[in-house]
């Protein structure tokens, strides 16, 4: 049966006349089956008949799609490309408003003796449809709030993609355990199709628990609680506790969805953090109000926080109070955020305070962070990242620890302890810096399955005047692409230390 199965296996790739020479040899108790295969001449498309029938015959999007199909006269017949062409044409018709678009004919005729194929794709569009009224049932959220999830207006051209956006928004809200969107063509008036949305409320409260390890913080435990729906307006209340030997965080956040609840939210937070690193101890209590929203392709967060900090630094021990406005912008583009083959991320942040406005110090700070991932060959990828920060202040000694720059650790300069690098005083104790400069290059190679090996080089430091004392680290690592993020185990050498010690780094999380 094998020669016939081989012939069938070659046909989807356009080879209908292969020459297969089988042989069977016995060697003691073992048999060796060998198949020598000449795939022969490929089957070429000699005729392509694409027809748009009905009112959508002159629709620009459909006409454009017919001239950009994966199949064309003169190309080799590949069945998967034919299926893509068939699906593409109908999808374009559906998104152009022709929700009744159907194929009246779709076929491939293969003339095996001549290695030729003819393709016919005839699609009947039917009448163009428009969105009618949208009605909701269930959900325990006010209808006015629910309507903010609708990405289209009544009377707009029908689009399957827009219906999927509506469903994604409602599912992503977390308010509902089930979202069922059903068009009602039987109730259409003048091709305006009503839409019914049935909602099943989610459980009001969610609890989650976590346990992990990283070399920056050691063993970490976390507890997260969320009340999904405080009232019929969709307000939320959440709290989170995270504990490790290096840092302890407690926070609670009250969230109010805004005009576009899919992307815009107003948050009021209370935050407590205690962190003990090399030569630096800080205890922070902060009240913060922030607005999160989408600005084009960028994610923008504007916040105003009042921070009370008690810190212990080599050159500064005491208490500071700061009223800090902050703005951050984030842009992410990646083919897969968990494990990217190609992608990039840019983070911009600016913050400041003034002694004249409820603060014990005056400063202005800006930070730029970037990460780039590019595929190299079939199995490799290059990862480049960099951080640049700068602070303008009239009195550096008045700045609390959390507003100074330090570096070193799993996600900056590997080979060194977390936040162990930066300017020091005459006694060699860390005091932090006004500026930050860090760069990294890494190459990952896929050895098999979800396993990778890596080699990397990191360099940088925090400084006050000029970057004349740059620390470098290099090493190798193992990566496992788990279903929920990349697990990274690195062994790094502190190249800039005289004794050049080695350090283990373990981290977990998505690429972006």
**pLDDT for 468 beyond 80:** no
105 contacts 121 by C-beta, under 8 angstroms: yes
Kindly tell me if the per-residue pLDDT of 473 is higher than 90.
yes
Containing 398, the helix (H) or strand (E) segment is none
User: DSSP code of 67?
Assistant: T
CA dihedral 492, 496, 500, 504 (to 10 degrees): -20
Does residue 315 have a pLDDT over 70? no
Token duo for residue 207: 């609890």
Give the residue-averaged pLDDT of 389-402.
Answer: 92
**Number of Cβ atoms within 10 Å of the Cβ of 499:** 5
Average pLDDT in the 121-141 region?
A: 93
**Strands 236-243 and 343-353, how do they pair?**
unpaired
Characterise 57 by phi-psi region: left (phi > 0), alpha (psi -120 to 50), beta (else).
Answer: alpha
Phi-psi region for residue 88, left (φ > 0), alpha (ψ -120 to 50) or beta? alpha
What's the DSSP call for residue 339?
S
Percent of the chain whose pLDDT exceeds 90: 87
pLDDT in tens, 156-186: 999 989 999 999 999 999 999 999 999 999 9
What is the Cα Rg of the chain in Å? 31
Mean pLDDT of 30-36: 93
- pTM of the predicted protein model: 0.82
pLDDT for 59-98, tens place per residue? 999 999 998 999 999 999 999 999 999 999 999 999 999 9
| 403 Cβ contact list (under 8 Å, min separation 6) | 322, 351, 361, 363, 365, 391
Contact 20, 36 (CB under 8 A): yes
Tokens representing 405 are 């720059």
Instruction: Give CA torsion, residues 413, 414, 415, 421, to 10 deg.
Output: 30
Q: What is the Cα–Cα distance from 179 to 168, expressed in whole angstroms?
A: 9
Instruction: Supply the pLDDT for residue 213.
Output: 85
């Amino acid at each position: 049966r094998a020669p016939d199965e081989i012939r069938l296996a070659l046909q989807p790739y356009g080879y209908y006349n292969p020459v297969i020479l089988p042989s069977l040899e016995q060697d003691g108790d073992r048999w060796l089956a060998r198949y020598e295969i000449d795939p022969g001449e490929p089957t070429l498309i000699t005729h392509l008949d694409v027809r748009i029938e009905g009112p959508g015959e002159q629709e620009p999007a459909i006409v454009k799609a017919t001239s950009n199909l994966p199949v064309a006269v003169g190309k080799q017949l590949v069945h998967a490309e034919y299926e893509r062409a068939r699906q593409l044409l109908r999808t374009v018709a559906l998104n152009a408003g022709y929700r009744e678009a159907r194929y009246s004919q779709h076929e491939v005729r293969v003339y095996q003796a001549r290695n030729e194929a003819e393709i016919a794709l005839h699609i009947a569009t039917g009448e163009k449809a428009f969105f009618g009224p949208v009605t909701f049932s269930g959900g325990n959220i006010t209808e006015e709030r629910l309507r903010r999830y609708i990405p289209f207006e009544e009377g707009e051209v029908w689009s399957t993609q827009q219906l999927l956006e509506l469903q994604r928004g409602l599912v992503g809200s977390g308010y509902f355990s089930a979202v069922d969107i059903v068009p009602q063509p039987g109730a259409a008036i003048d091709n305006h199709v009503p839409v019914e949305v049935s909602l099943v409320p989610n459980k009001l409260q969610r609890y989650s628990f976590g346990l992990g390890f990283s070399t920056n913080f050691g063993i970490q435990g976390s507890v997260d609680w969320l009340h999904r729906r405080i009232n019929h307006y969709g307000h939320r209340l959440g709290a989170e506790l995270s504990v490790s030997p290096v840092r302890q965080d407690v926070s609670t956040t009250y969230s109010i969805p805004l005009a576009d609840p899919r992307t815009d939210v107003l948050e009021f937070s209370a935050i407590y953090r205690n962190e003990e690193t090399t030569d630096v101890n800080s205890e922070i209590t902060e009240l913060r109000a922030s607005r999160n929203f989408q600005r084009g392709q960028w994610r923008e967060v504007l916040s105003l926080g009042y921070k009370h900090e008690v810190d212990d630094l080599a050159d500064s021990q005491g208490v500071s109070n700061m009223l800090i406005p902050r703005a951050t912008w984030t842009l992410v583009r990646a083919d897969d955020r968990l494990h990217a083959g190609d992608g990039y991320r840019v983070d911009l942040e600016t913050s400041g305070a003034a002694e004249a406005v409820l603060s014990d110090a005056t400063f202005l700070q800006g930070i730029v962070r970037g990460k780039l991932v590019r595929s190299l060959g079939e199995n490799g990828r290059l990862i480049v990242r960099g951080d640049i920060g700068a602070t303008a202040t009239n009195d550096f000694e008045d700045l609390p620890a959390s507003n100074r720059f330090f570096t070193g650790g799993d996600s900056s300069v590997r080979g060194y302890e977390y936040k162990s690098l930066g300017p020091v005083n005459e006694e060699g104790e860390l005091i932090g810096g006004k500026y930050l400069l860090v760069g990294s290059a890494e190459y990952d190679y896929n050895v098999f399955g979800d396993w990778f090996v890596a080699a990397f080089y990191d360099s940088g430091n925090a400084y006050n005047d000029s970057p004349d004392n740059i620390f470098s680290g290099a090493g190798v690592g193992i990566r496992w692409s788990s279903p929920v993020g990349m697990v990274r185990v690195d062994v790094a050498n502190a190249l800039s230390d005289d004794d050049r010690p080695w350090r283990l780094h373990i981290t977990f999380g998505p690429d972006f």
